[in-house]
C-alpha cells in the first residue's frame, strides 16, 4: 500500500479516536478542552502513522487496540511540544499556526496539560497492549537517557555560554530530543508484532536513520522558510547563537547528510518493506 492511501485510511481514525477519548474520559470539561486544544491542533501524526505502518508491513492486523497505542504515542509527543514551548524552555507564542498552550490558557494550565498527557499516553499504551516490553521501550525513549535528557542537554548548553556545542554533542542531543520517540514508535510496532530479532534490527536501523534525518530536514525547511519570509537568514537557533547540524555543516553538507541517511534507511528495510515505510522518506523531498 502507498503511504498516501494508508494515511487516508488511518488519519481519520487516529483523529476521531483522539477527539472522542479526550472528550469522554476526562472528568473536568475545561481541562479536557485545554488538552484537546493542543492534541487536535493539526499535527502530522507522524509517530502514530509510523507505528501503524510498521505493523502493516509486518502483516499485523490494525484495529481499535492498535489505534489506541498509536494515539498514546501522539499524546506523549503533544506533551513534549507543550512543555518545549513554555517560557522556561523555547518561549514560543505559536505552534502549528495557533497560539501555544501557555499563551492561550496560561502557564500553569499548559504545564498541567502536558503533565496529564504524558501519563495518559502511557496509560493508553499499557491498556491496549498489555505489554511490559512496550512500556519499557516508550518510557526509556522519553526519560533521562531519551527525550528529556536531550532537552536537558539543549537547555544546559544554551544557559551555559561557555559550553562547546560541537558536532558530536549536537548529533547526540538532537537524536535524544527528537529521534528517540520516532525510533520507539517503530520499535514498539516491531515488538508488538513479535517480529524476529533480525527484522527488529533492520527496523531499528531504518528508524535511527529516519529520526536523525527528521531533525536535519526540520532545520533545513525552517531556514528555507524564514529566508523566504525575511529575505535573510533568521533561523531561531542561529539567531540565538545556538548551533544545530545545519549551522555546523552548512546547507550543502546537511543536504548530503540527509540524502545519505535516506539511502541508508531504505537499504536497512529493503527485504521487509513493500514501499510503505520507504514512502515516509518522501517527506524530506522539499529539503533536498
Q: Which residues bind ligand GRG (CB under 6 A)?
A: 43-44, 46, 80-81, 83-84, 96, 147-148, 151, 177-178, 215, 218
Residues 6+ apart with CB under 8 A from 288: 255, 258, 259
DSSP character for 284? G
User: Shortest distance, CB of residue 177 to ligand GRG, whole angstroms?
Assistant: 5
Instruction: Identify which of residues 171 and 218 has a Cβ nearer to ligand GRG in the complex.
Output: 218
Instruction: Identify which of residues 18 and 128 has a Cβ nearer to ligand GRG in the complex.
Output: 18
Q: Is 264 left (phi over 0), alpha (psi -120 to 50) or beta?
A: alpha
Q: Closest Cα partner for 233 from 244, 242, 224?
A: 224
User: Shortest distance, CB of residue 144 to ligand GRG, whole angstroms?
Assistant: 10
Pull the grid cell for residue 171: 548529533
Neighbouring CB atoms inside 10 A of 73's CB total: 30
- What are the backbone angles phi and psi of residue 52, rounded to the nearest 5°? -70, -40
Distance CA 274, CA 4 (A): 14
Instruction: Identify which of residues 157 and 178 has a Cβ nearer to ligand GRG in the complex.
Output: 178
Burial class (CB in 10 A: 0-12, 13-18, 19+), 60: middle
Instruction: Identify which of residues 75 and 147 has a Cβ nearer to ligand GRG in the complex.
Output: 147
Pull the grid cell for residue 5: 492511501
User: Shortest distance, CB of residue 113 to ligand GRG, whole angstroms?
Assistant: 13
Instruction: Identify which of residues 68 and 77 has a Cβ nearer to ligand GRG in the complex.
Output: 77
User: Shortest distance, CB of residue 69 to ligand GRG, whole angstroms?
Assistant: 17
Instruction: Identify which of residues 35 and 81 has a Cβ nearer to ligand GRG in the complex.
Output: 81
User: Shortest distance, CB of residue 58 to ligand GRG, whole angstroms?
Assistant: 23
Instruction: Identify which of residues 193 and 214 has a Cβ nearer to ligand GRG in the complex.
Output: 214
User: Shortest distance, CB of residue 231 to ligand GRG, whole angstroms?
Assistant: 23
CB under 8 A, 24+ apart: contacts of 150-158: 150/174, 150/175, 150/176, 150/177, 150/178, 150/180, 151/80, 151/84, 151/89, 151/176, 151/177, 153/177, 155/89, 157/242, 158/240, 158/242
Looking at beta carbons, which residue is closest to ligand GRG?
43
User: Shortest distance, CB of residue 105 to ligand GRG, whole angstroms?
Assistant: 17
Radius of gyration of the chain (CA): 19
Neighbouring CB atoms inside 10 A of 33's CB total: 14
Amino acid at each position: 500500500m502507498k503511504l498516501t492511501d494508508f494515511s487516508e485510511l488511518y488519519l481519520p481514525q487516529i483523529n476521531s479516536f483522539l477527539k472522542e477519548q479526550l472528550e469522554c474520559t476526562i472528568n473536568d470539561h475545561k481541562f479536557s478542552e485545554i488538552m484537546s486544544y493542543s492534541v487536535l491542533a493539526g499535527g502530522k501524526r507522524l509517530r502514530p502513522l509510523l507505528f501503524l505502518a510498521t505493523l502493516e508491513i509486518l502483516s499485523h492486523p490494525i484495529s481499535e487496540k492498535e489505534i489506541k497505542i498509536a494515539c498514546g504515542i501522539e499524546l506523549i509527543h503533544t506533551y513534549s511540544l507543550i512543555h518545549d514551548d513554555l517560557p522556561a524552555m523555547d518561549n514560543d507564542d505559536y505552534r502549528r499556526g495557533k497560539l501555544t498552550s501557555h499563551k492561550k490558557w496560561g502557564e500553569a494550565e499548559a504545564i498541567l496539560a502536558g503533565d496529564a498527557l504524558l501519563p495518559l499516553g502511557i496509560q493508553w499504551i499499557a491498556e491496549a497492549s498489555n505489554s511490559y516490553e512496550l512500556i519499557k521501550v516508550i518510557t526509556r525513549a522519553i526519560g533521562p537517557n531519551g527525550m528529556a535528557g536531550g532537552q536537558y542537554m539543549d537547555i544546559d548548553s544554551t544557559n551555559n555560554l561557555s559550553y562547546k556545542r560541537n558536532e558530536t554533542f549536537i548529533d547526540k542531543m538532537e537524536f535524544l530530543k527528537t529521534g528517540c520517540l520516532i525510533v520507539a514508535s517503530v520499535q514498539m510496532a516491531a515488538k508488538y508484532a513479535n517480529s524476529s530479532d533480525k527484522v527488529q534490527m533492520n527496523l531499528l536501523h531504518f528508524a535511527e536513520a529516519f529520526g536523525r534525518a527528521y531533525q536535519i530536514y526540520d532545520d533545513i525547511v525552517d531556514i528555507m522558510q524564514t529566508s523566504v519570509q525575511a529575505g535573510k537568514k533568521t533561523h531561531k537557533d542561529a539567531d540565538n547563537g545556538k548551533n544545530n547540524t545545519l549551522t555546523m555543516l552548512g546547507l550543502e553538507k546537511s543536504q548530503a547528510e540527509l540524502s545519505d541517511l535516506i539511502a541508508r534507511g531504505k537499504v536497512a528495510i529493503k527485504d521487509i518493506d513493500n514501499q510503505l515505510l520507504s514512502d515516509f522518506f518522501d517527506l524530506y523531498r522539499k529539503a533536498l
